[in-house]
Amino acid sequence: MFGAKKEVNKSRAWKRLENHYKSLRKLEMRDMFKKDPQRAERYNVSLESMVLDYSKNRINERTMKYLLTLAKECKLDERIKEMFAGDKINITEHRAVLHTALRNRSNTPVYVDGKDVMPEINAVLAKVRKFSEAVRLGEFKGHTGKKLTNIVNIGIGGSDLGPKMATEALKKYWGKDIKCYFISNIDGTACCEVLNEVDPETTLFIVSSKTFTTIETLTNARTCRKWLVDALGEPAVAKHFVAVSTNTKEVEKFGINPENMFEFWDFVGGRYSMWSAIGLSIAIAIGMDNFEKMLDGAHTMDLHFKNTEFSKNIPVILGLLGVWYNNFFGLKNYAVIPYDQYLTYLPAYLQQLDMESNGKFVSNNNEYVKYGTAPVLFGGAGTDVQHSFFQMIHQGTSIVPCDFIIPAISHNEVGDHHEILVANVLAQGEALMRGKTVKEAAEELKKAGKSKEEIDFLKKFKSFRGNRPSNTFVIKKVDPYALGMLVAMYEHKVFVEGVIWNIDSFDQMGVELGKQMALSILPELQSNASGVAHDSSTSGLIKLVKSLRK
């Protein structure tokens, strides 16, 4: 069980890696490739049609040996078993962590407090299937008898980012008359822009809130409810709203038929919840058969993570590389760049997964950590981002490890678009690794006919230091199965890092303070009440906003 142990930065393996880093830090990857013709094969691992090439990293055999030893010293194998067994590894909230049970396609028993949770999970999946098919077939109709074709998911955090990312990623699989919309931001613009797009007679709202008290979600839901009632009357609520929640009393009070409430559990954190009934919007959009294929893909990655030796284990390798760069190179940024338009929202989804999970400064020993935890994750779809932040990645003073993701087959094979896209992603990885020396830049300028004065001036500007690490993932196609594998892979990668850093990757205490303080400020904005002492800046800003709103 997770608990007190010697801090990882005091372990023998950590000290060994610190010394190893000193001997490795000046080695150039381009030289490593020259000396080792088999390097790409050695640092390459696959799972079915997914291939990870991690040869463009600043590592050698000794690096991987020491990192794998670190994983063993941190008892990663035991931590993995505890998670899959339903042990309460979320120690601050005393909860099991069983998003893996949601996609347990083997249907082997999984116990929490002595009770097998699989029958309940299967029952909810069956309910999601029945309802999603009824909506898609037009059997569950709106108040006026019309088919519900506009699906509006109202949630925030994992209740929004997961379904939004997955539905966009799988847009090619949507029902022909289905359109999906997402409302999460408390900014009224987010709500109004969606309501301006949809027809009340054909719109289904899914309110996703475990407690049915989340202020952003419930405020947006009430605004949508009023819009619907103004158009169709109070009885329409029961035909146009469903809930993903555990609070039956509040759901009924809102006007939602409790038969249309879909349950999920405390052992499912928000950022790990799209595999549950939180994925209802996904199931309606792409159909339950495709939703289950997504679960199948995730389960395949779960079994790989659980059963594969660490040296060939994709999430373990990724997690260890993350620790290597964060804690030994001191690199605090990390980029994920999918070269597929449908994966546009993947980096935003992974931001929450990574930074909400591992952005912690207290260890499981109840001590402040003295080493880096979660890096700042950013990204976007290639090739767009080549014209935004890639300048910094190639020539900036900060080194940013990158994950490149590319499908071999596009859903939209138009002309030579996809070949150009693939050429770009492969070129980026090679360019980051190889770079261009000042001498090479000077030779290029000379061939271009530049004068000696121009060459002397421009050669440094045209040079690239290179030796910048990246991973390249090649998948066959962005289909439901592949997406399930990809997302589960990143979930487990984050878990590996959390185990090494000895932190609780499954709570989110850092989300709470700002929300608590917002509740104290809200009455002051709505009236002249002031029962809370603020700093002079906050008090002045409250007065300013109120004066501008008069």
Question: Does 356 participate in catalysis according to the annotation?
Answer: yes
How far apart (Å, rounded) are the C-alpha atoms in residues 129 and 509?
34
In order, the DSSP letters of 70-119 are HHHHTTHHHHHHHHHHT---BTTTTB---HHHHT-TT----EETTEE-HH
Count Cα atoms within 13 angstroms, Cβ side, for 28.
Answer: 12
**Cα distance between residue 26 and residue 58, in whole Å:** 10
The DSSP string of 241-309 is EEEE-S-HHHHHHHT--GGGEE---TTS-GGG-TTTGGGHHHHHHH-HHHHHHHHHHHHHHHHHHHHS-
Question: Catalytic annotation on 387?
Answer: yes
Q: Cβ-count burial of 504 within 10 angstroms (0-12 exposed, 13-18 middle, 19+ buried)? A: buried
Task: Exactly one of 216, 356, 497, 524 is catalytic; name it.
Answer: 356
**Helix, strand, coil percentages, rounded to 5, for the chain:** 55, 10, 35
Catalytic residue among 35, 387, 447, 550: 387
Judged by phi (left if over 0) then psi (alpha if -120 to 50, else beta), residue 498 lies in: alpha
The two structure tokens encoding residue 13: 């393996």
Left, alpha or beta for 446 (phi > 0: left; psi -120 to 50: alpha)? Answer: alpha
d(CA 283, CA 295): 11
Structural tokens at position 392: 């910094």
Cα–Cα distance measured from residue 278 to residue 441, given in angstroms and rounded to the nearest whole number: 53
The Cα-based distances of 10 to 1, 109, 272 in angstroms read 20, 38, 32
> Cα angle at 100 between 205 and 486, to 5 degrees?
80
**In the annotation, is 418 catalytic?**
no
CA–CA separation, 381 and 346 (whole Å): 9
User: Which one-letter amino acid corresponds to residue 503?
Assistant: I
C-alpha distances in Å from residue 219, one per residue of 224, 274, 447:
9, 22, 64
- The answer to whether the bond into 383 is cis (omega within 30° of 0) is yes
Element (H, E) at 132: helix 118-136
Question: Catalytic site residues?
Answer: 356, 387, 515
